[in-house]
Amino acid sequence: MNNYNYLLKFIIVGDICVGKSCLVLQFTDSKFRNEHDATIGVEFGSKYTTINDKRIKLQIWDTSGQEAFKSIVRSYYRGSIGGILVFDVTSRQSFENITKWNKEIQSYACDKIEMTLIQMKSAIIIIIYIRRQVSRDEAQAFAKREGFTYFETSAKTGENVNNVFEQMAKIILKRIDCGDIDPSQDVQLVIQLYLLAIWNKNRIWEQRVVKSLRRIRQQKKYKWIDNTLKKLKGIRKR
């Protein structure tokens, strides 16, 4: 039996070196690294939180901002119910490219995806004033126009980091309660994780993912999953 009520998949996108990986590390492990290698393809992190007496598992997918990995990254948009667009306050180009990243998500992710815009701050406050290339008013106006929530965060100090994910989760849960979002979409996510485990021949990860299917497989409308898993296991043995 799973020890959570809901599994929510978040996807983080934006230009290279805007602080996406640092944001995830701060949220999942409360750590900060001054130097971080560029993400190759996608990286994955998770964390549990409790909202309205419900235990929520947040799965955070950190995507590469490099053009070379675009086709790989697109496959991970599917099943995401939360999209986080990140730009660097000292990079005008990273803000202008947000429109491009948003189109990517809207083209490949769930049509019910909840979106937020994050402005990553410099760790040194004086640099923000000297090198700032995007005003708060401009970023807020963009977010309002697109219907996104908006946050200013610092991965180094942890400012607003937890708030980003918790507020998004609260909004999503409210939409689930209102019937706007079907929580059964987590089936797609679990199957995707299983395929990834097989592809990487990661037996331990595969076993953990299969455990996540137990509750889902008990529901009659998901009996097809048993046959799918048998076929997948057959492929792995070849």
| Same domain? 147 vs 56 | yes
| Same domain? 176 vs 191 | no
State the CATH number of the domain containing residue 110: 3.40.50.300
| Same domain? 214 vs 165 | no
| Same domain? 191 vs 177 | no
CA gap 32, 143 in Å, rounded: 27
Cα angle 101-13-5, degrees, rounded to a multiple of 5: 120
Of residues 187 and 35, the one with the higher pLDDT is 35
| Same domain? 87 vs 113 | yes
Mean pLDDT of the 141-161 span:
93
Phi-psi region of 80 (alpha: psi -120 to 50; beta: other; left: phi over 0): beta
| Same domain? 57 vs 145 | yes
For the stretch 86-113, pLDDT in tens is: 999 889 999 999 999 999 888 888 778 9
Residue 1 domain-assigned (yes or no) = no
* Size of the chain in residues: 238
**What are the distances in angstroms from CA 41 to CA 69, 72, 94, 101?**
5, 6, 19, 15
Residue 110 domain-assigned (yes or no) = yes
How many domains, the chain?
Answer: 2
The residue among 135, 165, 181 that closes a domain is 181
For the stretch 4-63, pLDDT in tens is: 888 899 999 999 888 888 898 899 988 887 665 555 456 778 899 999 899 999 999 887
Identify the band that residue 133 occupies on the pLDDT scale cut at 50, 70 and 90: confident
Identify the band that residue 117 occupies on the pLDDT scale cut at 50, 70 and 90: very high
For the stretch 222-236, pLDDT in tens is: 454 555 555 555 545
Of residues 114 and 192, the one with the higher pLDDT is 114
Query: What's the mean pLDDT when you consider all of the chain?
Result: 77
Domain extent at residue 215: 185-237
| Contact between 62 and 44 (Cβ < 8 Å) | yes
